[in-house]
Amino acid sequence: MIIRTLLENKSFQEKLGSEHGLSLLIETKEATVLFDMGASDLFARNAKVMGVDLANVDLAVISHGHYDHTGGLQTFFEGNNQAPVYIHSAACGEFVTPGEDGWRYIGIPKTSAPEDRFIKVQGDVEISKSLKILAEVQPNHLNPPDNKVMFQKGPNGYELDRFIHEQNLVLRQGEKTVLITGCAHKGIVNIMDYFYQNEGKWPDVVIGGFHLVNREWSEEMVEFIGKIGEFFKSTPTHFYTGHCTSEKALRLLKNQLGNQIEELSTGMVLNLFD
Protein backbone atom coordinates (compact mmCIF):
# COMPACT_ATOMS: atom_id res chain seq x y z
CA MET A 1 0.00 0.00 0.00
CA ILE A 2 1.41 3.37 -1.05
CA ILE A 3 0.05 6.70 0.19
CA ARG A 4 1.25 9.84 -1.57
CA THR A 5 0.69 13.22 0.07
CA LEU A 6 -0.40 15.41 -2.83
CA LEU A 7 -1.13 18.35 -0.57
CA GLU A 8 -0.48 19.43 2.99
CA ASN A 9 -0.02 22.69 4.88
CA LYS A 10 3.75 22.36 4.59
CA SER A 11 6.14 21.40 1.83
CA PHE A 12 9.83 20.70 2.28
CA GLN A 13 10.31 20.08 -1.45
CA GLU A 14 11.03 23.09 -3.64
CA LYS A 15 9.02 21.91 -6.64
CA LEU A 16 5.88 21.15 -4.62
CA GLY A 17 3.49 23.78 -3.30
CA SER A 18 1.55 23.86 -0.05
CA GLU A 19 -1.62 25.49 1.23
CA HIS A 20 -4.09 25.06 4.08
CA GLY A 21 -5.59 21.81 2.87
CA LEU A 22 -5.23 18.06 2.52
CA SER A 23 -5.12 15.58 -0.35
CA LEU A 24 -3.89 11.99 -0.25
CA LEU A 25 -3.53 9.49 -3.10
CA ILE A 26 -3.91 5.92 -1.86
CA GLU A 27 -2.72 3.00 -4.00
CA THR A 28 -3.92 -0.39 -2.80
CA LYS A 29 -3.81 -3.76 -4.53
CA GLU A 30 -7.47 -3.24 -5.37
CA ALA A 31 -7.87 0.42 -6.33
CA THR A 32 -6.39 3.89 -6.55
CA VAL A 33 -8.27 6.21 -4.20
CA LEU A 34 -8.13 10.00 -3.85
CA PHE A 35 -8.93 11.24 -0.35
CA ASP A 36 -9.78 14.96 -0.34
CA MET A 37 -8.68 17.55 -2.89
CA GLY A 38 -7.23 20.52 -1.02
CA ALA A 39 -8.40 24.12 -1.30
CA SER A 40 -7.58 24.73 -4.97
CA ASP A 41 -6.07 23.09 -8.05
CA LEU A 42 -2.68 22.91 -6.29
CA PHE A 43 -3.12 19.22 -5.39
CA ALA A 44 -3.41 18.43 -9.11
CA ARG A 45 -0.36 20.51 -10.02
CA ASN A 46 1.63 18.74 -7.32
CA ALA A 47 0.34 15.39 -8.59
CA LYS A 48 1.73 16.17 -12.04
CA VAL A 49 5.14 17.03 -10.59
CA MET A 50 5.05 13.76 -8.62
CA GLY A 51 4.28 11.75 -11.75
CA VAL A 52 0.69 10.98 -10.74
CA ASP A 53 -2.01 10.86 -13.42
CA LEU A 54 -5.34 11.69 -11.78
CA ALA A 55 -7.15 10.10 -14.73
CA ASN A 56 -6.17 6.74 -13.21
CA VAL A 57 -8.02 7.36 -9.92
CA ASP A 58 -10.75 4.72 -9.48
CA LEU A 59 -12.75 6.51 -6.78
CA ALA A 60 -12.55 9.50 -4.46
CA VAL A 61 -13.71 10.14 -0.91
CA ILE A 62 -14.47 13.56 0.56
CA SER A 63 -13.94 13.77 4.33
CA HIS A 64 -16.34 16.68 4.96
CA GLY A 65 -17.88 19.72 3.36
CA HIS A 66 -15.21 22.37 4.00
CA TYR A 67 -13.36 24.28 1.27
CA ASP A 68 -9.87 23.11 2.27
CA HIS A 69 -10.82 19.52 1.40
CA THR A 70 -13.07 20.17 -1.61
CA GLY A 71 -11.56 23.19 -3.39
CA GLY A 72 -10.08 20.99 -6.12
CA LEU A 73 -13.30 19.18 -7.03
CA GLN A 74 -13.77 20.98 -10.35
CA THR A 75 -10.14 20.36 -11.29
CA PHE A 76 -10.51 16.68 -10.47
CA PHE A 77 -13.61 16.31 -12.63
CA GLU A 78 -11.79 17.98 -15.51
CA GLY A 79 -8.89 15.54 -15.20
CA ASN A 80 -10.86 12.38 -14.46
CA ASN A 81 -14.06 11.52 -16.31
CA GLN A 82 -15.09 8.33 -14.56
CA ALA A 83 -14.26 8.03 -10.84
CA PRO A 84 -17.23 8.31 -8.47
CA VAL A 85 -16.85 10.65 -5.51
CA TYR A 86 -18.18 9.39 -2.17
CA ILE A 87 -19.50 12.35 -0.21
CA HIS A 88 -21.88 12.57 2.74
CA SER A 89 -25.34 13.77 1.76
CA ALA A 90 -25.10 16.55 4.36
CA ALA A 91 -21.76 17.88 3.07
CA CYS A 92 -23.26 20.35 0.63
CA GLY A 93 -24.75 22.61 3.31
CA GLU A 94 -23.90 26.22 4.02
CA PHE A 95 -20.98 26.12 6.45
CA VAL A 96 -19.62 29.33 7.93
CA THR A 97 -17.35 30.76 10.60
CA PRO A 98 -17.31 34.26 12.13
CA GLY A 99 -15.18 36.70 10.12
CA GLU A 100 -14.23 40.35 10.41
CA ASP A 101 -17.23 41.43 8.35
CA GLY A 102 -19.81 38.86 9.44
CA TRP A 103 -20.13 35.23 8.44
CA ARG A 104 -17.36 33.80 6.24
CA TYR A 105 -18.36 30.91 3.98
CA ILE A 106 -16.12 27.84 4.43
CA GLY A 107 -18.18 25.24 2.57
CA ILE A 108 -17.69 23.54 -0.77
CA PRO A 109 -16.87 26.10 -3.49
CA LYS A 110 -19.82 26.80 -5.77
CA THR A 111 -18.97 25.00 -9.01
CA SER A 112 -20.73 23.30 -11.86
CA ALA A 113 -19.65 19.86 -10.66
CA PRO A 114 -21.63 17.08 -12.37
CA GLU A 115 -24.15 15.65 -9.89
CA ASP A 116 -23.99 12.20 -11.47
CA ARG A 117 -20.37 11.82 -10.33
CA PHE A 118 -21.32 12.03 -6.65
CA ILE A 119 -22.34 9.04 -4.59
CA LYS A 120 -24.12 10.73 -1.69
CA VAL A 121 -24.10 8.50 1.36
CA GLN A 122 -25.32 8.54 4.94
CA GLY A 123 -23.54 6.66 7.67
CA ASP A 124 -21.00 3.86 7.34
CA VAL A 125 -20.42 2.35 3.90
CA GLU A 126 -18.53 -0.83 3.05
CA ILE A 127 -17.18 0.12 -0.38
CA SER A 128 -15.28 -3.16 -0.71
CA LYS A 129 -13.46 -5.71 1.43
CA SER A 130 -10.50 -3.36 1.71
CA LEU A 131 -12.25 0.03 1.84
CA LYS A 132 -14.82 1.29 4.32
CA ILE A 133 -16.24 4.70 5.19
CA LEU A 134 -16.75 5.34 8.91
CA ALA A 135 -19.20 8.17 9.56
CA GLU A 136 -21.38 7.20 12.51
CA VAL A 137 -18.87 8.39 15.11
CA GLN A 138 -20.37 9.73 18.33
CA PRO A 139 -18.56 12.83 19.67
CA ASN A 140 -18.59 11.57 23.26
CA HIS A 141 -15.55 13.33 24.71
CA LEU A 142 -12.31 15.16 23.92
CA ASN A 143 -13.90 17.07 21.05
CA PRO A 144 -11.80 19.80 19.38
CA PRO A 145 -12.37 23.12 21.21
CA ASP A 146 -12.13 25.04 17.92
CA ASN A 147 -15.38 23.40 16.78
CA LYS A 148 -17.14 26.16 18.70
CA VAL A 149 -16.47 28.59 15.83
CA MET A 150 -17.85 26.27 13.13
CA PHE A 151 -21.48 26.82 12.13
CA GLN A 152 -23.98 25.68 9.52
CA LYS A 153 -27.21 27.14 8.28
CA GLY A 154 -30.28 25.43 9.72
CA PRO A 155 -34.05 26.03 9.48
CA ASN A 156 -33.85 28.67 12.22
CA GLY A 157 -30.64 30.38 11.20
CA TYR A 158 -27.03 29.51 11.92
CA GLU A 159 -26.33 26.81 14.48
CA LEU A 160 -23.24 24.95 15.67
CA ASP A 161 -22.03 22.40 13.16
CA ARG A 162 -22.44 18.89 14.55
CA PHE A 163 -20.30 17.49 11.73
CA ILE A 164 -22.80 14.90 10.62
CA HIS A 165 -21.16 15.33 7.20
CA GLU A 166 -17.75 14.06 8.37
CA GLN A 167 -16.40 10.77 6.99
CA ASN A 168 -13.25 8.78 7.72
CA LEU A 169 -11.73 6.04 5.60
CA VAL A 170 -10.60 2.58 6.68
CA LEU A 171 -8.04 0.72 4.55
CA ARG A 172 -7.38 -2.99 4.99
CA GLN A 173 -4.50 -5.05 3.64
CA GLY A 174 -4.46 -8.56 5.02
CA GLU A 175 -4.37 -8.21 8.80
CA LYS A 176 -3.11 -4.63 8.61
CA THR A 177 -5.35 -1.56 8.82
CA VAL A 178 -5.06 2.18 8.23
CA LEU A 179 -7.41 4.93 9.40
CA ILE A 180 -7.52 8.13 7.31
CA THR A 181 -9.02 11.30 8.77
CA GLY A 182 -9.65 14.69 7.21
CA CYS A 183 -9.92 17.00 10.22
CA ALA A 184 -11.29 14.70 12.94
CA HIS A 185 -13.86 17.29 13.97
CA LYS A 186 -15.70 14.59 15.94
CA GLY A 187 -12.56 14.03 17.97
CA ILE A 188 -9.69 11.75 17.00
CA VAL A 189 -10.13 9.69 20.19
CA ASN A 190 -13.83 9.13 19.41
CA ILE A 191 -12.98 8.18 15.83
CA MET A 192 -10.37 5.67 16.97
CA ASP A 193 -12.78 4.26 19.56
CA TYR A 194 -15.37 3.79 16.82
CA PHE A 195 -12.76 2.16 14.60
CA TYR A 196 -12.03 -0.28 17.45
CA GLN A 197 -15.75 -1.07 17.81
CA ASN A 198 -15.90 -1.93 14.12
CA GLU A 199 -12.58 -3.67 13.57
CA GLY A 200 -11.97 -5.23 16.99
CA LYS A 201 -8.47 -3.74 17.20
CA TRP A 202 -6.62 -0.44 16.94
CA PRO A 203 -5.47 0.75 13.52
CA ASP A 204 -1.84 0.05 12.70
CA VAL A 205 -1.52 3.52 11.19
CA VAL A 206 -3.52 6.76 11.44
CA ILE A 207 -3.00 9.49 8.84
CA GLY A 208 -4.61 12.94 8.68
CA GLY A 209 -5.53 16.08 10.57
CA PHE A 210 -6.71 16.08 14.20
CA HIS A 211 -8.06 19.66 14.42
CA LEU A 212 -6.04 20.70 17.43
CA VAL A 213 -5.71 24.31 16.27
CA ASN A 214 -6.95 26.82 18.79
CA ARG A 215 -7.29 30.58 18.59
CA GLU A 216 -6.48 31.05 22.25
CA TRP A 217 -3.86 28.78 23.81
CA SER A 218 -4.23 28.13 27.52
CA GLU A 219 -3.25 25.63 30.19
CA GLU A 220 -6.59 23.92 29.56
CA MET A 221 -5.69 23.42 25.89
CA VAL A 222 -2.27 22.04 26.79
CA GLU A 223 -3.95 19.61 29.22
CA PHE A 224 -6.48 18.67 26.53
CA ILE A 225 -3.70 17.74 24.10
CA GLY A 226 -1.92 15.88 26.90
CA LYS A 227 -4.96 13.65 27.36
CA ILE A 228 -5.01 12.87 23.65
CA GLY A 229 -1.32 12.07 23.80
CA GLU A 230 -1.89 9.71 26.73
CA PHE A 231 -4.56 7.92 24.72
CA PHE A 232 -2.33 7.66 21.65
CA LYS A 233 0.48 6.26 23.78
CA SER A 234 -1.80 3.52 25.12
CA THR A 235 -2.28 2.16 21.59
CA PRO A 236 0.15 0.39 19.23
CA THR A 237 -0.79 2.83 16.44
CA HIS A 238 1.71 4.90 14.45
CA PHE A 239 0.55 8.43 13.59
CA TYR A 240 1.23 10.75 10.65
CA THR A 241 -0.40 14.14 11.09
CA GLY A 242 -0.38 17.72 9.87
CA HIS A 243 -2.94 20.09 8.32
CA CYS A 244 -5.24 21.27 11.16
CA THR A 245 -3.33 19.58 13.97
CA SER A 246 -1.19 22.75 14.34
CA GLU A 247 2.55 23.01 14.89
CA LYS A 248 2.20 23.64 18.62
CA ALA A 249 -0.04 20.62 19.20
CA LEU A 250 2.26 18.43 17.12
CA ARG A 251 5.25 19.60 19.15
CA LEU A 252 3.45 18.73 22.40
CA LEU A 253 2.41 15.33 21.07
CA LYS A 254 5.93 14.68 19.80
CA ASN A 255 7.26 15.35 23.30
CA GLN A 256 4.91 12.67 24.65
CA LEU A 257 5.07 10.12 21.85
CA GLY A 258 8.52 10.48 20.31
CA ASN A 259 8.85 8.43 17.13
CA GLN A 260 5.28 7.13 17.45
CA ILE A 261 4.09 10.30 15.69
CA GLU A 262 5.47 12.01 12.56
CA GLU A 263 4.70 15.20 10.68
CA LEU A 264 2.92 14.87 7.35
CA SER A 265 4.05 17.17 4.52
CA THR A 266 3.43 17.67 0.81
CA GLY A 267 5.30 15.11 -1.26
CA MET A 268 5.73 12.58 1.54
CA VAL A 269 5.31 9.01 0.27
CA LEU A 270 4.42 6.25 2.73
CA ASN A 271 5.08 2.69 1.64
CA LEU A 272 3.13 0.66 4.18
CA PHE A 273 3.21 -3.07 4.96
CA ASP A 274 5.33 -4.07 1.93
Local confidence band at 166 (pLDDT 50, 70, 90 cut-offs): very high
The full DSSP string for the chain is -EEEEEE-S-B-STTS---S--EEEEE-SS-EEEE---SSTHHHHHHHHTT--GGG--EEE--SS-HHHHTTHHHHHHH-SS--EEEETTTTS-EEEEETTEEEE-S-------GGGEEEE-S-EE-SSSEEEE------S---GGGGG-EEEETTEEEE---TT--EEEEEETTEEEEEESS-TT-HHHHHHHHHHHHSS--SEEEE------SS--HHHHHHHHHHHHHHHTS--EEEE-GGG-HHHHHHHHHHHGGGEEE--BT-EEE---
Handedness of CA 113, 114, 115, 121 (dihedral sign): negative
pLDDT digits (tens, 9 = 90+) for 76-87: 999 999 999 999
pLDDT digits (tens, 9 = 90+) for 169-188: 999 999 999 999 999 999 99
Residue-range domain boundaries for the chain: 2-211
Mean pLDDT (whole number) for 134-139: 98
Local confidence band at 200 (pLDDT 50, 70, 90 cut-offs): very high
pLDDT digits (tens, 9 = 90+) for 28-62: 999 999 999 999 999 999 999 999 999 999 999 99
Give the model's pLDDT for residue 115: 84
Q: Does residue 113 surpass a pLDDT of 90?
A: no
Say which CATH architecture domain 2-211 belongs to.
Answer: 4-Layer Sandwich (3.60)
Nearest CA to 231 out of 184, 183, 187, 178 is that of: 187
